[in-house]
Amino acid sequence: MFARVRAFLSSIILFLLGLVLIFSLVYCIKIFLNEQNADIPIYRVDTKKKEIALTFDISYNERNIDEILDVLDKYNVKATFFVVGNWVDKNQDVVKKIYDRGHEIGNHSYSHPYFNEISEEKMKEELESTSKKIKAITGEGTTLFRPPFGEINENGVKVCESLGYKVINWDVDSMDWKNIKDIYIIDRVAQNTSPGSIILFHGEGSNVEDYLDSIVKHFSKSGYSMIKVSDLVYDKDYYIDSSGVQRKK
């Protein structure tokens, strides 16, 4: 009698252990798939090198471009400018100037729509139209895309990737678009940046030459290299984790 009870209890214990193992395996698979989700933008790059990327979104105003370029030249820094196509239409000479001074031109759509609210065909039209305009000016197409407002879903990322783009967001927002005091912009960027960071600036902020000079000087003194996004991100053998960090496999 006792032997039968013990066998019964043992079978129950083994059954429960089997369930625990199955659930653990399923959980680990879900975590693994989530951690290697390629269908989200790149917000930061996992690297031990003290390298970061300065990026500038240009959508409706070119008033600060010369000041930005002068600061970058002063410290021999190269950056990435994400431009909107309907702005390019009116500022081809400015795009050429940015490119000729050694900076990178990225795609920021044609009309700056919310990508979560438009069709796949419209997404492709927005990307391809702007890329053609940029190539006509620089001789090079675009391989980096920044979604307007930083908003894009998994399907949108897949559409971009099908056209050969890496989708680039940011992990440090300078908040310069709010036109807050220079000191707050400087402190915000300095305190939140780490190796592999992608920093967001805009071409329309006021007094950009003041806070940008201080920020670039700070990182130069801190031993950081400020490089183009295409030089920061990995081209192959990588995955993007659930936090948007691009990591080497």
Q: Which residues are catalytic?
A: 57, 202
Give the burial class of 238: count Cβ atoms within 10 A of its Cβ; 0-12 exposed, 13-18 middle, 19 or more buried: middle
Residue type, 218: H
What is the total residue count of the chain? 249
Strands 80-83, 104-107: parallel, antiparallel or unpaired by DSSP?
Answer: parallel
Residue type, 11: S
Interior angle at CA 79, CA 177 and CA 141, nearest 5: 105
Which structure tokens are listed for 47?
Answer: 């690297």
By C-alpha distance, which of 14, 60, 19 is closest to 204?
60
- Answer yes or no: are the C-beta atoms of 204 and 61 closer than 8 Å: yes
